[in-house]
């Protein structure tokens, strides 16, 4: 298996955000690092299902509003 290219990054987080991330990591059964990486990957993903769903719902809502304004 080829090694994964990883870079070390020092990160400062507000205490409350770190607590929330630790809780989420525990709920998802992964390390804090894995949780942060997963969330960053999801935020940069082009096929993020949540983002696509939100865009579709917003488009539908705007269409309904537009029809009601006529």
| Per-residue model confidence as pLDDT tens digits over 15-60 | 999 999 999 999 999 999 999 999 998 887 766 677 788 889 999 9
Cα–chain center distance at 46: 11
Token duo for residue 65: 């509003």
Report how far apart, in Å, the C-alpha atoms of 21 and of each of 7, 8, 44 are: 20, 18, 18
pTM of the model: 0.60
Q: How far apart are CA 70 and CA 64, in angstroms?
A: 10
């Amino acid at each position: 298996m080829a090694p994964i290219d990883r870079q070390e990054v020092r990160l400062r987080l507000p205490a409350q955000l770190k607590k929330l991330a630790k809780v989420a990591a525990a709920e998802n059964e992964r390390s804090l690092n894995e949780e942060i990486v997963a969330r960053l990957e999801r935020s940069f993903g082009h096929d993020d299902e949540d983002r696509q769903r939100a865009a579709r719902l917003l488009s539908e809502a705007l269409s309904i509003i537009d029809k009601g304004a006529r």
